[in-house]
Amino acid sequence: MQLAAPRKAAARGSLVRGLSKAFSWLGLALLVTVALFPVLWALLNSLKELMDIVSPTPRFLFRPTLDNYRQVLHTPEVLSGLYNSILVVGSAVALGALLGVPAAYAIARYPFRRRDDVQFFVLSLRFLPPVAVAIPLMATWIDLGVYDTRFSLIVTYLLTTLSTIIWLSIPAFQRVPREVEEAATIDGYGPYAVFWRIALPIASKTLLGGVVFSFVLVWNELMMALTLTSQQAATLPVIAATFTSMGQEVPWGVVNASTVLLALPPLVFLGLLSQLLNSMLKHR
């Protein structure tokens, strides 16, 4: 009888832990389903005919078609918008990382006057709503004769990527142990070697997240691109938004296909950047 009570208590505790784990997995599955449902629904609609999409009753069984993707890929405006997005966003993110990561390391490691003010100024660039920035920039680019050009859009997006990468990279470098850098200095490493060979590899995972986050921000950005471009430098979100201004003639299949294509480059960019980072770290 004395042994039965502990066994029952252990069995009851095991049952409680099992139920708790099951409910945790169920909650996680529910959250993932809610998060992925719009993407999956857009993917399904991109493979449907227009009549299947506008049907009052949602149709889960239908004959898939690739006509929507063919129409998107054979539309000159979409191809031009895709090219502009890749060129503009890629340039803005590359320049933001090239300038922002070393700047974040300098702010995190080298004390100087008004360092806190500099950090607050960098963060304040994200405080302003896009419309408050877009209108003055539009007037500036018109006066300079570079309105509706990729150059003006790259410079505009650089403000976003630079501030985001700096702000997210500062804590990453602050978490790098100073002892490791001091040991490298004793071994004869200079400041640039310490940054490139010690601090950068240790903080690389967090830095990767900051770069990807800034890429997603500017890739999906609509308000600034809509204000600062008209035709020549229009990005893919601007082109996709024009499809919804056709009243009752909206090609919903094409819209959903454009949405799927719009979501693919960030995933490809993340995969390529992860492989590049892993290859760089393996050779060190």
Predicted model pTM: 0.76
Q: Which residue has the higher pLDDT, 54 or 46?
A: 46
User: What amino acid occupies position 105?
Assistant: Y
CA-to-CA distance for 187 and 97, rounded, in angstroms?
28
The count of residues in the chain is: 284
Mark out the alpha helices in the chain (DSSP H runs).
Answer: 4-46, 50-53, 67-73, 76-109, 115-124, 130-144, 150-174, 178-186, 191-193, 200-202, 204-219, 223-228, 236-242, 252-282
Q: Which two tokens stand for residue 280?
A: 């760089």
- Residue 281: pLDDT band by 50, 70, 90 thresholds? low
**pLDDT tens digits, 131-188:** 778 888 899 999 999 999 999 999 999 988 998 898 888 888 888 888 888 888 888 8
Give the integer Cα–Cα distance in Å for 284 and 270. 22
Nearest to 103 by CA among 172, 188, 1: 172
- If one counts every other C-beta atom within 10 angstroms of the C-beta of residue 91, the result is 18
pLDDT of 1 strictly over 50: no
Q: Alpha-carbon distance 171 to 45, whole Å?
A: 42
DSSP 8-state assignment for residue 113: T
Confidence of residue 249 (pLDDT cuts 50, 70, 90): low
For 214-226, what is the mean pLDDT? 88
Triad 166, 167, 172: Cα angle to 5°: 85
Query: Which of 19-28, 183-192, 209-218 comes out lowest in average pLDDT?
Result: 19-28
Q: Distance (Å, rounded) from C-alpha 181 to C-alpha 191? A: 9
What is the average pLDDT across 9-17?
66
The pLDDT, as a whole number, for residue 112 is: 75
Q: What is the pLDDT of residue 88?
A: 94
Rounded to an integer, the average pLDDT of 10-38 is: 77
87-115 pLDDT tens trace: 999 999 999 999 999 999 988 888 777 77
Helix 150-174, helix 204-219: angle, nearest 10: 150
Largest CA distance in the chain: 91
What's the pLDDT score for residue 29?
84
Helix-helix angle 150-174:76-109, to 10 degrees? 40
Residue 92 tokens read as: 């803005």
